[in-house]
């Protein structure tokens, strides 16, 4: 899945002639400039900024049928370098490549969103639909969504767009849970400040075309597998605390799983508790998860992350930190990150089937930065994360540092 060169301990560093290394060099150059205090602004000329405006192909509020039609897309590319006790790994990944459109109808009460993705190195230009839904918003306090969309849980790590995510990857605990988009019917509302959601999801929704690159293999599924439902509530205590934002949420996802399910197929029940604080140049997101009812090595698991950000230069340069923790009820109940900890060998626990890449406790610390050229629509990112996957009574499953550089482009 990843473009990489595997390097065993003691080998020389990766030498790459990949053209994308020019981007990596550019990011590195910027970091050197920051470290030496020689920060200068990379600003887009007005002509370049107009490129984003040109994605809106039609806009007419007086048209009673179609008010707006806009192209949407993103490219996220990133380079990783892992130095771990089990070996080293490095390479470039075309992390996300998507194209689609948004359309607004009937006085903007009806929204249609459709986009599809490509995979790494664009092996398959079409690798399935990402979002494909209709949303009806009769007023600002109520919305109904039908189609392939995000499962409504984890409002800190999952619901926000990856264009806005300040780290390269979501937290380990979230990535372990098997949550993804699904064919769904969801309801969302606001009753005098009390936020609520409910959803019904199909568990046989494919996330990709699974290597075929063909239409028909990566869309809505057959609606014949298991199903799940969610319910959740939230409230913003910003006025009570006199801050810009103080959102607290509690969301529950229950899954009636079947063996053939493709999504929401790892645990029976998942609960997320979310706190998002914003004031001035600071932001703090804290989120905790409890998952239970898994099969085999998927024992009950608890995890959390704390993710502060601070704007050194508002709207230009941001520092990002994150501490992640997870622990489980079984010796192999905690799963290492697929990006990119599992790129180096993590041997199975003796006598525990299916325990490769697994342990019972996880800690990680991430420190990075974002440099905004055009807000979240064009930015450079860099960071490093130390992580350790422990195994009680056995040798450490994983202990290493992953460094990242990358670019985020969206419209």
- For residue 402 the two structure tokens come to 């992953």
Q: pLDDT tens, 118-164?
A: 999 999 999 999 999 999 999 999 999 999 999 999 999 999 999 99
Q: Which of 306, 290, 383 has the alpha carbon at shortest distance from 340?
A: 383
Contact (CB, 8 A) for 124 and 152: no
Compute the 3-state secondary structure of the chain and give helix, strand, coil in percent, each to the nearest 5. Answer: 10, 50, 40
Question: Would you state the pLDDT for residue 392?
Answer: 86
**pLDDT score, position 22:** 45
Q: What CA–CA distance (Å, rounded) separates 114 from 129?
A: 7
Compute φ and ψ for 387, nearest 5 degrees.
-145, 150
CB-based contacts of 105: which residues, under 8 Å, 6+ apart?
A: 65, 66, 67, 111, 112
pLDDT at 26: 52
Q: pLDDT value at position 396?
A: 78
State residue 166's pLDDT score.
Answer: 98
* The pLDDT value given to residue 3: 41
**What is the distance between the alpha carbons of residues 57 and 74, in angstroms, rounded to a whole number?**
17
Domains of the chain and any CATH numbers: 5-410 (2.40.160.10)
**One digit per residue, pLDDT tens: the chain, 411 residues?**
444 433 333 333 333 334 444 454 455 445 545 544 555 556 778 788 889 999 999 999 999 999 999 999 999 999 999 999 999 999 999 999 999 999 999 999 999 999 999 999 999 999 999 999 999 999 999 999 999 999 999 999 999 999 999 999 999 999 999 999 999 999 999 999 999 999 999 999 999 999 999 999 999 999 999 999 999 999 999 999 999 999 999 999 999 999 999 999 999 999 999 999 999 999 999 999 999 999 999 999 999 999 999 999 999 999 999 999 999 999 999 999 999 999 998 999 988 999 999 999 999 999 999 999 999 999 999 999 999 999 987 777 999 999 999 999 999
DSSP conformation class of 207: S
pLDDT at position 78 is 98
């Amino acid at each position: 899945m990843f473009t990489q060169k595997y390097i065993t301990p003691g080998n020389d560093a990766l030498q790459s002639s990949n053209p994308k290394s020019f981007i990596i060099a550019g990011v590195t150059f910027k970091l050197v400039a920051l470290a030496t205090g020689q920060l200068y602004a990379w600003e887009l000329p007005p002509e370049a900024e107009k490129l984003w405006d040109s994605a809106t192909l039609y806009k007419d509020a007086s048209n009673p049928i179609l008010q707006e039609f806009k192209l949407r897309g993103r490219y996220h590319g990133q380079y990783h370098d892992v130095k771990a006790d089990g070996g080293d790994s490095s390479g470039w990944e075309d992390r996300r490549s998507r194209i689609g459109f948004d359309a607004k109808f009937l006085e903007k009460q009806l929204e249609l969103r459709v986009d599809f993705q490509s995979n790494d190195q664009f092996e398959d230009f079409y690798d399935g639909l990402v979002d494909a839904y209709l949303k009806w918003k009769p007023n600002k306090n109520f919305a109904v969504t039908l189609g392939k969309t995000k499962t409504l849980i984890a409002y800190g790590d999952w619901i926000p767009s990856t264009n806005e995510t300040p780290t390269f990857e979501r937290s380990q605990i979230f990535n372990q849970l098997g949550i993804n988009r699904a064919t769904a019917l969801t309801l969302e509302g606001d009753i005098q400040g009390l936020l609520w959601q409910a959803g019904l999801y199909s568990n046989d929704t494919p996330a990709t075309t699974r290597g075929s690159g063909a239409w028909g293999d990566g869309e809505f599924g057959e609606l014949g597998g298991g199903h799940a439902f969610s319910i959740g509530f939230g409230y913003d205590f910003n006025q009570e605390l006199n801050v810009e934002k103080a959102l607290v949420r509690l969301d529950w996802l229950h899954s009636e799983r079947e063996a053939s399910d493709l999504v929401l197929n790892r645990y029976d029940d998942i609960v997320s508790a979310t706190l998002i604080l914003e004031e001035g140049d600071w932001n703090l997101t804290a989120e905790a998860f409890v998952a239970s009812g898994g099969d085999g090595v998927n024992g009950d698991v608890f995890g959390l992350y704390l993710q502060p950000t601070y704007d050194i230069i508002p709207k230009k340069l941001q520092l990002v930190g994150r501490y992640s923790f997870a622990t489980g009820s079984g010796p192999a109940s905690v799963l290492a990150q697929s990006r990119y900890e599992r790129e180096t060998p993590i041997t199975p626990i003796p006598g525990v089937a299916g325990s490769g890449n697994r342990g019972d406790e996880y800690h990680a610390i991430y420190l990075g930065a974002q440099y905004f050229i055009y807000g979240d629509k064009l930015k450079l990112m860099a960071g490093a994360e130390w992580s350790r996957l422990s195994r009680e009574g056995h040798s450490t499953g994983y202990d290493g540092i992953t460094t990242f550089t990358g670019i985020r482009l969206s419209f």
